[in-house]
A and B are shown apart, each in its own frame.
Chain A
């Protein structure tokens, strides 16, 4: 039993730190640390910097241009990047469609798509959920009918995160409506967003942000060569994809960074003539979050060491999802309460433009309400926390 990193891992961490100190642009880290919205050009810029370093794909094997890092190295990179204030990397290409193409795509598809994920030339979005298919994803209705060398796609996808910037979308579509079970008869297509018949409509969320979209397909012609893997086997690939989302699911690094921000705010806010951080009730709530995070960090390391041994994240990842997202929500909530009434002034546009000044009250208060509101999503997406509890009950407890 040893909770310390090995000398090799510490050397790797130092290498990551040196890289971040040298190459992470200050305007980007300032933005991230202040909790401001990360813009499309910010994501692209950071991905290109990572690409130049050869670190574009921490989770990919070397032969596809990845780093070939161990799960522990991936974790160290993730955590150090988050704590330094690097923008998160977008998962849609790197951790979702990329691994599916590597595992199930043909050579031509691998040559065509993978390099353009690495250097951020392509921006991918996800076409999984539908208005009638959320947690019950297999009930999806978007149809793809064979017509010669094409599929004709009709239907509607929703919750396409940052789809307004995407030039490619990966979709689950129904290719056999008569299959005996809903999980059968689904195929996995990748579709060029410029194909005629596709329209993207914004969904404005409760924080005023345009983060998600609806995507409509009206007689969209998709070449058969854009199908990944076999026809009607898409559900297998879909499950594979969701399983790959797990390694960074606990969000330890970003929660540590946010905890630091919360403490900094609580040192500046004054209550009863004393810094808020010394208020007993506030201090207790803060300590509870910090302690929960300490425990989750070790639970995460335990899962990682299991994963390195077994090469696949197990259902234990559901524990990380549930606790990790609860902590993220608790942090955004306490941060909002920390600034009191000055959480109320709300200027969406200034946050998106990167304006650090608040309409009223301290500047650090400006993005807090939006962050709180936005963070309600984390217990809903990626398999809602209720679904995660189902997974624990079924896969671990055997119920």
Chain B
């Protein structure tokens, strides 16, 4: 048992922290938020320059073959900087899905471009009726001649608006919630019949809804085999959850530090408001939440590739519950302790709060994962 990081891991963490500190100031981020695109290709190239886009790509495809611990350390740092670029979507989820689907040919074709950061490939799975459920796929792929016709839609796909192409799920058979019949299809963003409606989410990130109307694809667009597609999707979700939890922990620690600093400087009744016990105890509770969240982020990182599915589900859902609750408590209380200033767009705290809130709504919220934990535990 040890909770230390290797020298290489520590170096990686330091490097990303420095990058965020030096290039991702509050003002720089606001500039990006104000831009039409909502992300910076230049900073993305910087992120790629640090090797981060290659981190989750296996070495044989030009990657660094990093694991969940490295991803956790990167996400801690990117979280603290509220980085808007698509690291999670394009550099964690996508290479993970490709690995889990085991399509060697496509991996060889796509992964080098993903590793270098040149191509943004995004997984498009969630639908309007999903609410976190992974088997809720109603988009259909129907055989037509040599190829297939796709009809349906995908909902709130993170960074969908800037994707060069998608790894999109559709059903060749069965009905929503059937385990079998789901396939992953490689779909370039400019495919005729595909409409990408891009928008911002309240945390400043971008997302898109996809509409598929009689989209024609060839049989060669299908990725991997028919079997175990939902298992691969779930395995990808678990790796994504671990990364998302780490992002939340990075934010929680940063927002706690910001709040502590603010209460030491803000004076009312002739003294810093940090002298008031009501506020001290609130910040003690925020600290306790941060500690429990850190612990569960470690657990998520260690267990997200565990082969025992029950243990993996329990660990990841438990982690998301603790972190979702911590995110909500810390975010809400940080705004509260900043008083009126916490309500303003010009204070960092409000941006932290919004991202923490969004994280709880991503990949299944706290209630969803509480239920998942119960289902996974039944019989144990």
B318 within 8 A of A: yes
- Closest B residue to A303 using CB positions: B291
Residue of B264, B275, B373 with highest tally of chain A CB at under 10 A: B373
Residue of B281, B288, B298, B378 with highest tally of chain A CB at under 10 A: B288
What chain A residues lie within 8 Å of B315 (beta carbons)? 294
Partner of B1, one of A2, A287, A296, A393: A2
Given A6-B1, A397-B260, A399-B283, does the pair A283, B299 have CB atoms closer than 8 Å?
Answer: no
What chain A residues lie within 8 Å of B374 (beta carbons)? 283-284, 287
Whole-angstrom distance between the Cβ of B299 and the nearest chain A Cβ: 6
Give the CA-CA distance A260 to B237 in the complex, in Å: 30
Could you tell me if B69 and A1 are in contact, using CB atoms closer than 8 angstroms?
yes
Given A1-B69, A287-B374, A392-B287, does the pair A295, B281 have CB atoms closer than 8 Å?
Answer: no
A23 within 8 A of B: no
Produce 1/0 per residue, B1-33, CB < 8 A to A: 111110000000000000000000000000000
Give the CA-CA distance A302 to B1 in the complex, in Å: 9
Complex A-B: 5 CB contacts under 8 Å: A1-B302, A72-B1, A278-B378, A287-B321, A299-B292
Q: Which residues of B are interface residues toward A (Cβ below 8 A)?
A: 1-5, 69, 260, 264, 274-275, 277, 280-281, 283-285, 287-288, 291-296, 298-299, 301-302, 315, 318, 321-322, 370-371, 373-374, 377-378
Could you tell me if B280 and A302 are in contact, using CB atoms closer than 8 angstroms?
no
Could you tell me if B291 and A389 are in contact, using CB atoms closer than 8 angstroms?
no
A230 within 8 A of B: no
Could you tell me if B370 and A284 are in contact, using CB atoms closer than 8 angstroms?
yes
Give the CA-CA distance A295 to B373 in the complex, in Å: 14
Whole-angstrom distance between the Cβ of B4 and the nearest chain A Cβ: 7
- Closest B residue to A4 using CB positions: B1
Per the CB 8 Å criterion, the residue count for chain A at the interface is 37
Whole-angstrom distance between the Cβ of B255 and the nearest chain A Cβ: 14
Could you tell me if A397 and B298 are in contact, using CB atoms closer than 8 angstroms?
no
A386 within 8 A of B: yes
Could you tell me if B281 and A386 are in contact, using CB atoms closer than 8 angstroms?
yes
Could you tell me if A1 and B5 are in contact, using CB atoms closer than 8 angstroms?
yes
Give the CA-CA distance A284 to B296 in the complex, in Å: 19
Whole-angstrom distance between the Cβ of A78 and the nearest chain B Cβ: 15
Partner of A295, one of B287, B295, B301, B370: B295
Could you tell me if B373 and A291 are in contact, using CB atoms closer than 8 angstroms?
yes
- Additional pairs, 14, CB under 8 Å, beyond known A6-B1, A397-B280: A1-B4, A5-B1, A294-B315, A295-B318, A295-B322, A298-B296, A302-B298, A319-B288, A388-B284, A389-B280, A389-B281, A393-B280, A397-B260, A397-B283
Could you tell me if A1 and B295 are in contact, using CB atoms closer than 8 angstroms?
no
Whole-angstrom distance between the Cβ of A275 and the nearest chain B Cβ: 11
- Closest A residue to B296 using CB positions: A295
A363 within 8 A of B: no
Give the CA-CA distance A269 to B338 in the complex, in Å: 47
Whole-angstrom distance between the Cβ of A294 and the nearest chain B Cβ: 5
What chain A residues lie within 8 Å of B293 (beta carbons)? 295
Partner of B287, one of A301, A319, A390: A319
What chain A residues lie within 8 Å of B69 (beta carbons)? 1
Could you tell me if B295 and A291 are in contact, using CB atoms closer than 8 angstroms?
no
List the 9 shortest-distance A-B pairs measured between CB atoms, nearest first.
A298-B295, A393-B280, A389-B284, A392-B284, A295-B292, A291-B318, A389-B281, A299-B295, A283-B374
What chain A residues lie within 8 Å of B302 (beta carbons)? 1-3
Could you tell me if A3 and B1 are in contact, using CB atoms closer than 8 angstroms?
yes
A9 within 8 A of B: yes
Partner of A305, one of B1, B280, B294, B318: B1
- Closest B residue to A296 using CB positions: B292
Could you tell me if B284 and A287 are in contact, using CB atoms closer than 8 angstroms?
no
A171 within 8 A of B: no
Produce 1/0 per residue, A380-399, CB < 8 A to B: 00000010111011001101
Could you tell me if A323 and B370 are in contact, using CB atoms closer than 8 angstroms?
no
Could you tell me if A287 and B285 are in contact, using CB atoms closer than 8 angstroms?
no
Partner of B2, one of A1, A319, A389: A1
Give the CA-CA distance A112 to B131 in the complex, in Å: 68
What chain B residues lie within 8 Å of A4 (beta carbons)? 1
- Closest B residue to A2 using CB positions: B2
Residue of A1, A4, A283 with highest tally of chain B CB at under 10 A: A1
Whole-angstrom distance between the Cβ of B246 and the nearest chain A Cβ: 12
What chain B residues lie within 8 Å of A389 (beta carbons)? 280-281, 284-285
A292 within 8 A of B: yes
Could you tell me if B287 and A397 are in contact, using CB atoms closer than 8 angstroms?
yes
Produce 1/0 per residue, A1-23, CB < 8 A to B: 11111100100000000000000
Given A1-B5, A2-B1, does the pair A287, B377 have CB atoms closer than 8 Å?
Answer: yes
Partner of B288, one of A5, A6, A322: A322
Whole-angstrom distance between the Cβ of A315 and the nearest chain B Cβ: 10
Partner of B291, one of A2, A299, A305, A390: A299
Could you tell me if B296 and A393 are in contact, using CB atoms closer than 8 angstroms?
no
What chain A residues lie within 8 Å of B4 (beta carbons)? 1
A288 within 8 A of B: yes
Give the CA-CA distance A243 to B176 in the complex, in Å: 57
What chain B residues lie within 8 Å of A299 (beta carbons)? 291-292, 294-295
Give the CA-CA distance A305 to B1 in the complex, in Å: 8
Could you tell me if B283 and A1 are in contact, using CB atoms closer than 8 angstroms?
no
Could you tell me if A294 and B296 are in contact, using CB atoms closer than 8 angstroms?
yes
What chain B residues lie within 8 Å of A287 (beta carbons)? 321, 370, 373-374, 377
Could you tell me if B287 and A305 are in contact, using CB atoms closer than 8 angstroms?
no
Given A1-B3, A295-B318, does the pair A399, B295 have CB atoms closer than 8 Å?
Answer: no
